[in-house]
Amino acid sequence: MLRKGIEDEITDWLAREVENRGSDGGLIGLSGGIDSTTVAALAKKALGDDCLGILLPAEGTTEKDNEYARMAAESIEIDTMMADLEDINAHLKNFLHGLDLDSVHREYYPETALKASECAREMCEKTMQTRLRMITLYYIGECKNYAVLGTSNKSELLTGYFTRYGDAAADLSPLKHLMKTEVWELAERLEVPREIIDRPPTGGLQSGEERVSDAEEVGLDYRTFDEIYLAIENGKDLRQFDLEDVNRAVELMAEASNNLDIPGFKK
């Protein structure tokens, strides 16, 4: 359980860090999911009207995503801007298809234990969406002198469920040290709409209403992963968990560690 008043500690930290950076405010890519909504709620408390939510529909965005994003913005009373990337997403994809490339088979996403259910080309097209969004967020942020506020949580970072230079890129990362289950708890305290809290987590990169959930892609649901991770961290008996789940959690963390930092040569 999160300690009492941590939401105020985070908002104080956020306001202080934005000021320390010399930024005039902060912006968030609003997906309609719990993480971006929670960050937006924290930003509103920390920065008042000096924050902005950006809706970034691309190939994998559904109208339901936009509805939830608008619901989040209305609930938090945060200003929004729409940056529709669907056409440029399609144009860039068509351009890249014209390159003379051999598309190799990959069983896993690069540097992770996340299994790829599609061919390498389709896999690249999904991660391209998150990088297009981040290009747009940084363009708007630099124009307005706003800090880009990241939405990745600790569970996603530990499992490798993020795109390097995509959704993991940010100037400030309020949820970086909070597990997914803690984000749910924080969202309750911030009075995030119940529909968003209860919405099944997805990566938001697949078109169509029937999407693969985070749990299906990761191979574990967040509650189980969080419990196993905390048990490992605190030296508790792991026999309370299913052995396959423990092995999967360890496998995910081992591979994801390669995706968190960029190696550099030490002279």
Structure tokens at 218: 């990761």
**How far apart are the C-alpha atoms of 29 and 133, rounded to whole Å?**
8
Q: Which residues contact 130 (CB under 8 A, 6 or more apart)?
A: 163, 166, 167, 205
- The pLDDT of residue 207 is 59
- The pLDDT of residue 31 is 93
What pTM did the predictor assign?
A: 0.94
pLDDT in tens, 225-246: 999 999 999 999 999 999 999 9
Q: Which CATH number fits domain 6-260: 3.50.50.60, 3.40.50.920, 1.10.10.10, 3.40.50.620?
A: 3.40.50.620
Please state the φ and ψ torsions of residue 204, each to the nearest 5 degrees: 70, 25
From residue 86, alpha-carbon distances to 53, 91, 102 in Å are 18, 9, 26
pLDDT in tens, 174-198: 999 999 999 999 999 999 999 999 9
Q: Which residues of the chain have pLDDT under 50?
A: none
